[in-house]
Chain A
Amino acid sequence: MELQKFAYDNRLVRMFMYATILWGLVGMLVGLTVALELIFPHMSASIPWLSFGRLRPLHTNAVIFAFVGNGIFTAVYYSTPRLLKTPMYSELLGKIHFWGWQLIIVSAALTLPFGYTVGKEYAELEWPIDLAITIIWVVFGLNLIMTMVNRRTKHIYVAIWFYIATFVTVAVLHVVNSINFPVSFLKSYPVYAGVQDALVQWWYGHNAVAFFLTTPYLGLMYYFIPKAANRPVYSYRLSIIHFWALIFLYIWAGPHHLLYSSLPDWAQALGVVFSVMLIAPSWGGMINGLLTLRGAWDKVREDPVLKMFVVGVTAYGMSTFEGPMLSLKSVNALSHFTDWTIAHVHIGALGWNGMLTFGMLYWLWPRLFNVKLYSRGLANAHFWLSTTGMLFFAIPLYFAGFTQSLMWKEFTEEGFLKYPNFIETVVQILPMYYIRALGGTLYITGILLMIYNLVKTTQAGKFIPFEEDQAPALHVQHHGSDKGHRVIESKPVLFTVLSLVAILIGGIVEFVPMFMVKSNVPTIASVKPYTPLELQGRDIYLREGCYLCHSQMVRPFRSEVERYGDYTKAGETVYDHPFQFGSKRTGPDLAREGVKTSPVYKPASWHYNHFLDPQRVVAQSIMPPYPWLIKNDLDISTTPKKIRVMQKLGVPYPEGYDQKANDELMKQAREIAGTLRQSGIEVSENKEVIALIAYIMRLGVDIHENNSLGQK
């Protein structure tokens, strides 16, 4: 057989490596900033775009889609051509992919801090950016699939299976969850509402973890661990079983983010059991990673690359055991809404994604620059800083989550809440926030060492833009020579289609009944659409990222009903585009904030004072001040359009209401300004704070008004 000569292009790999490091540093610095803002609420100096609610989405998006995203593409663009013995299909597509993705990241950084957000976690980006992501993702997929078509190896290796699953699933998740109806160039409303929106969002959110943070990194692991250790993969059979089991089961598990919410019991149960069933398939990956190192443990002791891989894969094993445990209702009742979740995700992000990325970079750099790594000692120091940084980050937060949850639930002997004031439970865990910030600082210090080390390596070496290789052409396949799984390994397009089928099933089984069967969201007659002023206020609530610290979901527990009021019903959220259940209670739940008979009720003047200066009313509060809400005029030019879009989404405003909406808006605003004036607060009715107060004081009241009417 004649050998064909070809070359691998390292230039794009280098660009993705640089981008990984740059965005990793940026994303983590923003993370450290928001961690410090929780300790020093005045750190943002009343600058809107520096406030916690605006920066936190920037942190999560940057780490997930910019740092890990570019890490994925580094691995894919380096390993795929070598595994398939062919250059990437198109240099042009590769460049469009690279620059397109960086442009998306920059546009995220230019919109999120300025409050342009859909208000759904990890899917915050507004619709034009969503469209750009879709296009670039297709460019990436096309490049990947065409490279497989052009391959010179008969079969595709397990790393590529995981890349395929990543491509198809992320495409499906992103498109389905981001169907938003535009109001203007940078404002849109999701087509789903309330508990249905929640189900779609957490199907997406959970599987963003699965198919953006996990499967591509399993692919990365399957290439770089055997390479770095120079060992064969532990078990091919395990690869097959855990791959298909993982991608089929993962997609079902989203509802575990909504345990004890108003999601129906059957859907919650699916979230529980599919999470539990994920332990073994996840551990299959860990076993195959760690046992590949059998026979190379002596190397692990010395080589910082392998050490990082070992800690990374171990962190993966830990968090994929912890995840299913957190999905058990009894554990979730404790862990949900607390810092426990934050600790859990950072074991994954700092341990699994971070360590694997660093290991890959330290392995690739000397090969691409044809020189020895500048300093193995510095790399080892980086390893220790990352490992201890991760522990200093996570352990205090486990403690904080556990402590705060127990305080929320504790009753006195007389049957009253032991800590009725939420702030007591915050003050208790503040020391843990200090240690967490220290952990983050250690971790970032490690990255700075890495950057120095890699810059020095680059200076000493010479970049190899192309690597020559040769292989025989792939001849027409002999049908019948393959058996079992080998058959589809030689048919990458079929493989792609089968993966797609595997990941569609779970979503369809959960969504169809949720959207088609009415009993899943029982209607409550007294629940009415928001008034125009409340709707505008709600958009301010989204803009400021209030949902990142305040939930709107009272769970059916005695401790929550006593603290907040009636637990939340599915029918109450049917006009919420998007839903605002939240996932973390850094501050108290707000679902019953407007209910006069609830223990959390506050008058308008309290809210005004609290937005202006939270520490004046709650001395130890860690909420930042929002003086700009009092300064800014409310933009009411958007009201008619917003009403019309809501009507299109099925919110029953009367015909022609869009034209009357602003009159009603001003009427309600004047009422609230009047109430404030009676309390001695002079504020013009056209300020943003009026709309936000209107929204907050509407929360949770509809079902109670019904009760009082019934009593009359």
Chain B
Amino acid sequence: MTNTDENIRKEEGYEVDTATNVRLIKDHEYDGIKELDNDMPSWWVWLFIITIAFSLIYLVRLWVFRADDLLQEKEFQKEMAAAPKANKPVEELAMAWLDDDMSLNNGKETWTKICAVCHLADGGGLVGPNMTDNYWIHGNKVEDLFAVVTNGVIEKGMIPYKDQLSPRQRLEVISYVMLRLHGTTPATPKEPQGELYE
């Protein structure tokens, strides 16, 4: 900046901030704090305008056009319709204990994740019955156990798992119960419930 510029500005009655070469607003001083005469950055103004435009479009889409993606009931129905529920494979499973290692390991995983919450990890029972002894409330055949897991025994607090576990997973977990847990000695066994099956 040349001296002449400075003189002209002084004559017009305003000061200039020497570090940024921007005009200071006249008579704006508060405890020594002054204010510069900068405009709002144009990108900022545009940002503001764009968000306002976005908002108007958004509200018009909802209130005038009832757009599906803004109505959560519609959104939900759409999501449920697209869900592969019908594709849940109806696997033809032979009702027989699965004794291969892979099935039993999968069964153990399901047991630990889900069943242990009521029957404890070692099968000793807590809220649900002890799975290690020879007493069974609803029978001890593979079909019996499969039915209990599938449909639950809700009056005793056992919920159905047909919507949470696939048929194979159900078979795997009851196989784990019968072939691995049954006959072991848990830390705190629950007293026998049901009838004795030898």
Contacts and interface: CB of A to CB of B under 8 A. Distances in A.
B147 interface: no
B51 A276 contact: yes
A692 B171 CA distance: 36
Contacts of B11: none
A603 B156 contact: yes
Contacts of B163: 416, 562, 599
Interface residues of A, number: 76
Interface stretch (B29-37, B97-105, B136-144, B172-180): B29-37
A231 interface: yes
Contacts of B24: 232
B12 interface: no
B20 interface: yes
A265 B71 contact: yes
A484 B159 CA distance: 70
A622 interface: no
Chain B's interface size range is: 35 or more
B114 to A, nearest CB: 6
Given A601-B157, A606-B118, A232 B34 contact: yes
B127 A606 contact: yes
Interface in B110-125: 113-114, 116-118, 120-121
Interface in B37-77: 37-41, 44, 47-48, 51-52, 54-55, 58-59, 62-63, 70-73, 75-76
Contacts of A227: 31-33
Contacts of B76: 556-558, 567
Contacts of A272: 58
A547 interface: no
B97 to A, nearest CB: 22
A395 B187 CA distance: 42
Contact of A605 (B83, B113, B157, B165): B157
B166 interface: yes
A236 B48 contact: no
A283 B44 CA distance: 8
Given A227-B32, A294-B20, A618-B117, A277 B44 contact: no
A235 interface: yes
Contacts of B38: 234-235, 237-238, 291
A82 B35 CA distance: 16
Contacts of A424: 113
Contact of B44 (A268, A280, A415, A562): A280
Nearest to A606: B127
Contacts of B5: none
A415 B83 CA distance: 7
B41 A287 contact: yes
Nearest to A605: B127
Nearest to A79: B31
Contacts of A619: 116, 121
Nearest to B37: A236
Given A233-B34, A273-B55, A609 B126 contact: yes
A83 interface: yes
